[in-house]
Chain A
Amino acid sequence: MPEDLAGSAASFETETDKPALKPQAPVIEPGEPTDLELMEGIQNEDPDALSKLYDRYNGILKALILRVIHNESEADDLLQEIFMEIWNQSKNFSAHKGKPLGWMVTLARRRAIDGLRKKQAYARAEERLQSETEQQPDAWVHNSTEQEINFGDTRVLVRNVINCLPPAQREAIELAFFRGMSQREIAANTNTPLGTVKTRLELGLKKIYDGLKELQHEL
């Protein structure tokens, strides 16, 4: 594995010593609107709905963007653009096709990876990734926020599923999802045969998919 990718297999945060918990949706206080209700509000051009959705999910989306582009101020700018896009594109959201968070994450990931490619910052990002792994910057070790507490149990559960994967499978998924790499790019960057990369991705994604299904059934 090239040195600049060393440690990336562990980039999904590891926290295996926590007890298994039942998954839970973000904590929504009684009387507070659901995500779907907020999306409907946004579709009806209600700024307060966007404000509430921002409060609920800005931390998760910022973490996702940051995971892709590794730059605090750029991540903030992109976060703002993404919420503006959520406002502008809300009519494209359909509850039949999935949950609001899934839609927002898909949109945010696409924008973040596009941003990364536009700036041709792959090399720079890889250097930062390595540095980040070594130094654990503030973005990853800040004090607990309300959002972090609300999503904490869900995060532990999802991570437990991901952490069950062999490191090579985790790395392949990490590079594909958070860095937008194709199978060929992953193969080239990790000096791994293309067929092996494909198998790792398929097996890893299936395990995560099946693991998440099991979590849903536990609810």
Chain B
Amino acid sequence: MTGSKNFSMSFEEFQNRSRLYVIGALEPDELDEFEKARKEFGQKGEDFISECYGLHEAFALSLRPAKASSSIKEKLMTMVRQKQQRA
């Protein structure tokens, strides 16, 4: 379909591609088609893509939380406060 003047993608196919898109698994040629379809579907398409990002959250929640080093938070907050002082 790439390069076709009558390019069109069904919304169902767009949904399939959107789920691949949010995990970065679209191949370059598919990405071109997807971006064209994205323009065609407008806000409806954008809303669906936003919804698909919920997959990221789900994959993260499927993991058992890991314990971070206790010094990390201390370093982080020091960096934040230093940045605020410089500003």
A interface, CB within 8 angstroms of B:
12-13, 45, 47, 50-51, 54-55, 58-64, 66-67, 73, 75-76, 79-80, 83-84, 87, 97-99, 101-103, 105-106, 108-109, 113, 139-140, 142, 145, 147-148, 151, 154-155, 158-159, 161-162, 173, 176-178, 180-184, 198, 201-202, 205-206, 208-209, 212
Cα distance A48–B50 in the bound complex, in angstroms: 29
Contact in complex: B68, A106 (CB < 8 Å): no
C-alpha spacing A45/B81, complex, angstroms:
10
Instruction: Give 28 pairs: A residue, B residue, CB < 8 Å, sorted on A.
Output: A12-B59, A13-B62, A47-B80, A50-B80, A58-B68, A58-B72, A59-B66, A59-B68, A60-B63, A62-B65, A63-B66, A64-B63, A67-B63, A80-B79, A98-B53, A102-B57, A106-B56, A145-B67, A148-B65, A154-B61, A158-B59, A176-B23, A177-B56, A180-B24, A208-B55, A208-B58, A209-B52, A212-B54
Complex interface bits, B3-43 against A, C-beta within 8 A gives 1, otherwise 0: 00000000000011001100111110000000000000000
| Residues of B with C-beta under 8 A to A181 | 25
Chain B residues touching A, majority SS: helix
Of A101, A106, A147, A183, the contact of B27 (CB 8 Å cutoff)? A183
Separation in Å of the A91 CB from the closest CB of chain B?
A: 14
Total A-B pairs, Cβ < 8 A: 152
The binding surface of chain A is classed by DSSP as helix
Bound-state CA distance A51–B69 (Å) is: 15
CB–CB A162/B60 < 8 A: no
User: Which residue from A51, A76, A205 sits with its C-beta under 8 Å from B55?
Assistant: A205
Contact partners of B66 in chain A: CB under 8 A: 59, 62-63, 66, 75, 139-140, 142
- Cα of A190 to Cα of B81 in the assembled complex, Å: 47
Asked whether A155 and B63 contact (CB < 8 A) given A80-B72, A205-B20, the answer is yes
